Amino acid sequence: MHIGILTSGGDCPGLNAAIRAIGKAAQDSYGMQVTGFLNGFRGLAQDQTMELDARLLSGILTYGGTILGTSRDKPHRMLIGGKTRDMTEAIVGTYHHHQLDALVCLGGGGTQKNALRLKQAGLNVVTLPKTIDNDIALTDQSFGFDTAVSIATDAIDRLHSTAISHNRIIVVEVMGHRAGWLALEAGIAGGADVILLPEIPYDVGQVAEAIRERTRKGKHFSIVVVAEGAMSKADAERVGKLAEQKRSAKSEADKQKVSNKLQKFHDGHVDHTINLTRHLEELTQQESRLTILGHLQRGGTPSAADRVLATRLGTTCAEVLNNKKYGVMLAIQNERIGAVPLEEVVRKKKFVPIDHPLITAARLVGTRFGD
């Protein structure tokens, strides 16, 4: 068999461990030829390849990033020479030109959707779940998440000591636009006083009151961990209304108008944590500082747990390919690796349920969520 591999979407630690696992198992145990496509779906559209031989697969287990490169390009909407084009036909052409038997796509939620599109275009696809956001449906965990939790926790630990020295509020923004898993786990591990998640709209007055209450108890510093997609109750209501308008739009033009408004809101939301920090300083009269962890959370060496998960998913992927089972994402559920149909994965983000045991545990140790 001849298989292709690509990595798509935002990078994360563990991608190389997964490429290595798929490649080694495919070559050594099943005698397959393995070709890498560069820079996500773009490499497939423009036929940019890298032969993943034993030499290239060796020594990459601990490397961050992806040796294949990645991009957020979508097969059906790709910027080529300044124009947005549907490259599905070109992708199908490259697949057949290389006489591939299957294509493995490593990525997050968007990649799962794009892989399904290619399945519908007639290709044999299999996917693996990666994202530091841990928001892909039907898998308990995605690789990259464990490492990002450790990086964010380490940062919170370091910020704690400086917050204590200066009697300050330190707001720490972590990644997670729609789902708050990273903020929740790193916040708990780092002993955050307040955690703000996209799933629990907050009232800034409540956050300020939680901080003032700490001061009254003699604790003159506070750590506020904020997911980048966290929203005030007023903003959440606005977004909720727009989302409803989009769902019930009568024409494509109306839908587009609402989408533009939503986009404008999200574009403006990038300043959200800066404004929140200022607002908290005003309300509490306590000096406040903001740290945005950003892409630090996606870089560097994968944790042991991510290496193990990527290796388990990758080797099972080779086994699944050998059994000619296609149109599935490899997933971990209750400690077991299995295959789930792509149709069931897409359009189902895994959000933090507001009654999740981790939220209960955090509340029981006195952490506030601003609600």
Q: Which residues are catalytic?
A: 133
Question: How many angstroms separate the CA atoms of 56 and 61, rounded?
Answer: 11
Residue showing tokens 């308990």: 140
Contact between 367 and ligand F6P per CB under 6 A: no
Query: Which one among 16, 131, 153, 315 touches ligand F6P, defined by CB under 6 A?
Result: 131
Q: Is 193 or 228 the residue whose CB approaches ligand F6P more closely?
A: 228
132 lies in the binding site for ligand F6P (CB under 6 A): yes
Which CB atom, from 148 or from 169, has the smaller least distance to ligand F6P?
148
Is 143 in contact with 14 (CB distance < 8 Å)?
Answer: yes
Report which residue type is found at 295.
H
Residues of 208-220 as b/e, b for ≥16 C-beta within 10 angstroms?
bebbeebbeeeee
What residues from 4 to 23 belong to the interface with ligand F6P (CB under 6 A)? 10
**Piece of 53-61, 127-135, 197-205, 330-338 that binds ligand F6P (CB under 6 A):** 127-135
Q: Which of residues 205-234 bind ligand F6P (CB under 6 A)?
A: 228
Torsion sign, CA atoms 125, 131, 135, 141: positive
Which residue number, 132 or 328, has a Cβ lying nearer to ligand F6P? 132
175 scored as a contact of ligand F6P (CB under 6 A): yes
Residues 265, 267, 270, 272, Cα dihedral to 10°? -20
Using the contact rule CB under 6 A, the part of the chain among 36-44, 86-94, 169-177, 277-285 near ligand F6P is 169-177
With CB atoms as reference, the residue minimizing the distance to ligand F6P is 10
Q: How many CB atoms lie within 10 A of CB 259?
A: 14
DSSP assigned state of 96: H
Among positions 36, 176, 180, 190, the unique one binding ligand F6P when judged by CB under 6 A: 176
Nearest to 318 by CA among 104, 154, 7, 145: 104
Going by their DSSP bridges, the two strands 194-196 and 222-227 should be labelled as parallel
Nearer to ligand F6P, 189 or 296 (CB): 296
Interface positions, 56-115, toward ligand F6P (CB under 6 A): 108
Can you give the binding site for ligand F6P, defined by CB under 6 A?
10, 108, 131-133, 175-177, 228, 298
